[in-house]
Amino acid sequence: MKKYLKYILLLTVVGGVGFYFYSNKPHKNMTKAAVEMQLSSIQLFADFENNEEEANGKYLDKIMEVSGKVKEISLDEEGRTSITLESGSEMFGVICQLDNLTKHARTNFKEGEEIKLKGICTGVLMDVILVRCVEIKA
């Protein structure tokens, strides 16, 4: 009986540790995460504008590399930077919120600059919104 007890104890500990790591698994490392698709901010916005449902199916949750011209840079109260890329629409854009778990090499982007960002597509409201973005150096 004592022999089994040892194994049961071991199993419990292993299971417990496993569960701990499972429930505390980290967020994706956006610097290392593999890019699933590449496209321009204009293309991305156009696809959402033409058929939102189809675009949702195609793009939601995808880690994408979006290239485009910086239209606007904004800083929120918590110090998070968001970059709006040109979409071809006068009113709306592709908003990319920089990842707050990543140390960014720079956040001083300039209007009109061509940049590439990697981020996760979350859908469209007025603008297409990407979260957890990091810059990809040319």
Partner 1 sequence: MKKIIFLVFVSVLFLTQSIQAQKYFTRTGNIVFSSEAPMEKIEASNQKATSVLDAKSGKMEFAVLIKAFQFEKALMQEHFNENYMESDKFPKALFKGAIVDMSKIDLSTDGTYAVKVKGDLTIHGETKEVETDGNIEVKDGKISATSTFEIEVADFKIEIPKVVRDNIAKIVSITINIDYELFKKKS
Residues forming the site for partner 1 (CB under 8 A): 22-28, 56, 60-61, 74, 76-78, 80, 82, 90-91, 95, 97, 100, 120, 122-127, 129, 131-132
Task: Give 67 or 84: the residue with its C-beta nearer to partner 1.
Answer: 84
Please calculate the CA angle 122-134-69 and round it to the nearest 5 degrees. Answer: 80
Task: Quote the least distance from Cβ 134 to partner 1, whole Å.
Answer: 15
Task: Quote the least distance from Cβ 64 to partner 1, whole Å.
Answer: 13
Task: Give 77 or 138: the residue with its C-beta nearer to partner 1.
Answer: 77
Give how far the C-alpha of residue 94 lies from the chain's centroid of Cα atoms, to the nearest Å: 13
**Contact present, 122 and 56 (Cβ < 8 Å):** no
96: β partners: 83, 130
Task: Quote the least distance from Cβ 22 to partner 1, whole Å.
Answer: 7
Task: Give 5 or 24: the residue with its C-beta nearer to partner 1.
Answer: 24
128: β partners: 94, 124
- Backbone phi, then psi, for 100, in 5-degree steps? -90, 0
